[in-house]
Amino acid sequence: MTRRLVADEAGIAVAADILRAGGLVAFGTETVYGLGADARNAQAVAGIFAAKERPAFNPLISHFPDAATAFEHAQAGELAQELARRFWPGPLTMVLPRTPTCAISDLAGAGLPSVAVRVPSGAVARALLARAGIPVAAPSANPSGRVSPSTAAHVLAGLEGRIDAVLDSGPCAVGVESTIVDLTGARPVLLRPGGVTIEALREICPDIALPHATSDARPAAPGRLSSHYAPTLPVRLEATHVAADEALLAFGPELAGSPLVWNLSPTEKLDEAAARLFAGLRFLDMEGRRRGLRAIAVQPVPAHGLGAAIRDRLARAACPRPR
């Protein structure tokens, strides 16, 4: 059975105890809900892979209450220190070499010589991490390949009965996952666009390399499988018209003709659109299927700011996938 914990002091204490004992707890961060386990404990981490049915070659991000604790496990050069000062706590993940004393299990790191570390913002996540006092490995709390969760109800819809508890801190403020930057090479590489915009990153790393949004070719990011965030209905991007048997994910003024519409942001605000993205995909998928619609049409979203992360998730949601 999965316990639903209110995110007050008592709930946070119970969640921390479950994590320390090797259990699985989903918790809200500013980006999406994560499925947490003790990153040092290979058996606990194996539980994450089992609950999500996630391929074990896909490494996990470890979460910490502050940069000093994160850098006990990940080697931070000057650039990493600067990025941490500017963006932590917040939606940035850094891939760094392991320190000699790194306690993160090989399973959490998928056997790589590097580790991914992040200090989330959000009072509940930070209180939980501080209270647990251990590195917490946490992928998004959804079955592998499916739409990420931005509420506790989303988590339970996918993982009820497969995890020990969910700590309900309400809807996530940012709504798309963290931006991932690989700092293990000569030049910083963007592995995933996310809650920290590329424009903001460039202020500190003007030379950051940007791979193609849906490339599978990067061995440094084995988790970046193309098909991801997938609703069960097919997704059609850059729609300039919509059919009567399609659901519509709108942005700005809505196209006419669809019987089922979720507008990401009628006033074209990208932060609002990011926060409403995964809830919208879930709603259109569920309700569209119930009504016998055949696809989800998506209106164009601009590529600047948070739009880059939104477009990346939509491109993956639209990718052909094995059934």
- Listed in order, strand segments (DSSP E) in the chain are 3-6, 25-28, 33-38, 61-63, 92-97, 114-118, 136-137, 165-168, 179-182, 189-192, 235-236, 246-250, 260-263, 295-298
Name the residue nearer to Mg ion (CB basis): 171 or 302: 171
Contact segment (CB under 6 A) with ligand TXA among 18-26, 56-64, 161-169, 209-217 equals 56-64
What pairing do the DSSP bridges indicate for beta strands 136-137 and 114-118? Answer: unpaired
Give the C-alpha separation, 211 to 1, whole Å.
Answer: 42
Total residues contacting ligand TXA by CB under 6 A comes to: 30
Query: Does residue 309 belong to the site contacting ligand TXA (CB under 6 A)?
Result: no
Query: Does residue 178 belong to the site contacting Mg ion (CB under 5 A)?
Result: no
Name the residue nearer to Mg ion (CB basis): 62 or 140: 140
The answer to whether the CB of 167 falls within 8 A of the CB of 131 is no
Output the residue with the shortest Cβ distance to ligand TXA: 223
Total residues contacting Mg ion by CB under 5 A comes to: 1
Q: Which of 115, 183, 264, 310 binds ligand TXA (CB under 6 A)?
A: 115
Give the C-alpha separation, 119 to 91, whole Å.
Answer: 8
Count of CB atoms situated within 10 Å of the CB of 110: 16
Output the residue with the shortest Cβ distance to Mg ion: 140
What does 47 bind: ligand TXA, Mg ion, none (CB cut-off 5 to 8 Å by kind)? none
User: Is residue 214 annotated as involved in ligand binding?
Assistant: no
Name the residue nearer to ligand TXA (CB basis): 186 or 256: 186
Smallest gap from residue 222 Cβ to ligand TXA (A) = 5
Query: Does residue 150 belong to the site contacting Mg ion (CB under 5 A)?
Result: no
Q: Which two tokens stand for residue 88?
A: 């932590």
> Which of 179, 68, 63, 183 is closest to 114 using CA atoms?
183
Residues 18-37 that bind ligand TXA (CB under 6 A): 29, 31-32, 34
Give the C-alpha separation, 76 to 281, whole Å.
Answer: 37
Residues that constitute the known binding site for L-threonine: 31, 138, 178
Q: Residue numbers of the site for ligand TXA (CB under 6 A)?
A: 29, 31-32, 34, 58-61, 91, 93, 95, 109, 112, 114-116, 118, 120, 138-140, 177-178, 180, 191, 220-224
